[in-house]
A and B are shown apart, each in its own frame.
Chain A
Amino acid sequence: MINVQNITKRYGDLTAIERVTFSVNKGEVLAFLGPNGAGKTTTMRILTCYMPATEGTARVAGYDCFDQPLEVKRRIGYLPETPPVYQELTVAEYLTFTGRLKGMGRTDLRSAMDRTIERLSLGDVRHRLIANLSRGYKQRVGLAQALLHDPPVLILDEPTVGLDPKQIIEIRELIKSLAGSHTVILSTHILPEATAVCQRVVIISGGRIAAVDTPERLSARLRQSEKISVTVKTPPPDLAARFRSLPGVLSVFEPTDSGAFLLECELGRDLRDDIARLIVTQGWGLLELKAVSMTLEDVFLRLTQHEEGMPESGALGPMAGAEVVRP
């Protein structure tokens, strides 16, 4: 449905994205994940024909974004980074305007408007001026505009920004319900969001694609060691060294505030039994022992930190077990 081949975008000397290639199948939900300034918005702007790419081709629903922009635009619902709302219009007037811009007829528009307002629970503010709405409502009005004409392709730039937790869950459910019948690309820097709603994740960093895969496979692929977190009641001063001497332990990180040691072990070897036995026989008092799986956050940090001079593969340095080490 969406096919991007080697697109590069330069703003003067600055290269925003470089040789980005990916494709999205019909009915798939894909997340762009990356730090701020990674090129997520630029890529989306090229796909929506807001700006042309410097090099490369992008096709949406079989139409070229450069040669047939109107055909592409007709098939896309786009929510930009800042919700594109007119402060001086009411929600109903705004949706009428955007519906007409998209070429909807009067009767189509009326039913689509009722449906979309219902879907995004905007009923209470239907006749209120957008200027007087809260950030969360404005965001939902922007989303309503993208969904209004029921386009086959949706491009959503950080759709859940500014929403409260309950609304975030509702919007995620909404996006999930679109999967199958719609092709969705969304950008986010909230990692659980990508895991929660997307079938595939594109990790983008410094204008290049760092990885494309399912969230599960990404974390599996990048896991190069088993990690175990251990909390001991009365640790002897040489505990770290004692752990290190166990066969299979690669490295040991001293506890931070939480008091938990983090052990990195050889891949495919479960040392929990050995560690437990050591602690119990020595009488140090075992409080907690658990395997730490690598979250998408770790994967993300690893991949995006490549840019800052870390080696390409192999020794990626100590992996921070996110939930364990964080104070």
Chain B
Amino acid sequence: MTPVGTIVAKELRSYFVSPIVYVVGAVFLLIFGVLSYLAVVNAGAQAVRLMQIQGAAAQLNLNDLVFRPTFYSIAIILLLILPLLTMRLFAEERKLRTFELLMTSPIGINEMIVGKFLGAYTIFLGLLGLSGIVPVILSLYSSFDWNPVLTGYLGLALLGALLLATGVLASALTENQIVAAFLSFGLLILVWLLGGVGSVLGDNPLGNILSYLSFIEHYDRFVRGLVDTKDLVYYSSGMVLMLFLAHRVVDAQRWK
């Protein structure tokens, strides 16, 4: 087994014996279900209204009425939930002094960080996979365009990677799990708000840079069914940057 594989296996094992995964998973799936349900009910109400106006059965666009609002809401829910998955990754190792075992084992810091990140990411992808039951059920009763749904999921997968990488960095910074979770909330909400600040500043270089940094605008295109290399680059470079910073933090702590 490779060093990264060893860490991933250990992390998965630890996730499943702790209540975090079950709580986070249940809450995520419940919220996903409730949000989709509300969107469907709303779509139904609109259909009735349209029928009264037009007098004939209206062709409803489920992509616009159901999936798009659900995807937007879910992005914000992830912002609040994913830091709970990553908060323990390094903070707990420090607190329990098992960090010393990792740091004196013949594996590199990068393997440690990638392993821990992939462990959390696997859990997240699993949850995302389970939430796929919603579009599958909807497809049984109606018809909609699968492409924007799939690109929306791709956007969620990329957004999740960036959020989790930020969480890994936050966890490397402290030995207190609550501080780690809060730190990642703070960081993520700040980055998210950058978009708002950017649009206030308007169309000038600083405004454009700030808008670019916010992950919402990039996510928006995926939800609308567009896969742009620019956005792929944004998410993967953001993730690599966060993991690189985490590497620097872990390495620097040895010098203290």
Contact = CB atoms under 8 A, between A and B. Distances in A.
A50 B100 contact: yes
B97 A97 contact: no
16 contacts: A11-B256, A49-B103, A49-B104, A50-B104, A78-B100, A78-B104, A84-B101, A85-B98, A86-B98, A88-B17, A88-B18, A97-B6, A98-B105, A100-B6, A101-B101, A101-B107
B149 to A, nearest CB: 37
Q: Is the interface of A mostly helix, strand, loop or mixed?
A: loop
B190 interface: no
Contacts of A84: 96-101
Interface of B: 1, 3, 6, 9-10, 13-14, 17-18, 96-108, 254-256
Nearest to B18: A88
Q: Chain A interface residue count: which class?
A: 20 to 34
A102 B106 contact: yes
A169 interface: no
A84 B93 CA distance: 9
Interface in A197-244: none
A70 B3 CA distance: 13
Contacts of B17: 88-89
What 7 pairs between A and B have smallest CB-CB spacing? A84-B101, A100-B6, A82-B97, A73-B106, A101-B105, A84-B98, A74-B106
A52 B254 contact: yes
Contacts of B100: 45, 50, 78, 80, 82, 84
A100 B10 CA distance: 10
A43 interface: no
Contacts of A48: 104
Given A52-B254, A88-B17, A89-B13, A70 B108 contact: yes
Contacts of A98: 101, 105
Given A100-B1, A101-B3, A101-B106, 20 more contacts: A11-B256, A45-B100, A49-B103, A50-B100, A50-B104, A74-B106, A80-B101, A82-B96, A82-B100, A84-B98, A85-B98, A86-B10, A88-B13, A88-B17, A97-B6, A97-B9, A97-B10, A100-B3, A101-B107, A103-B3
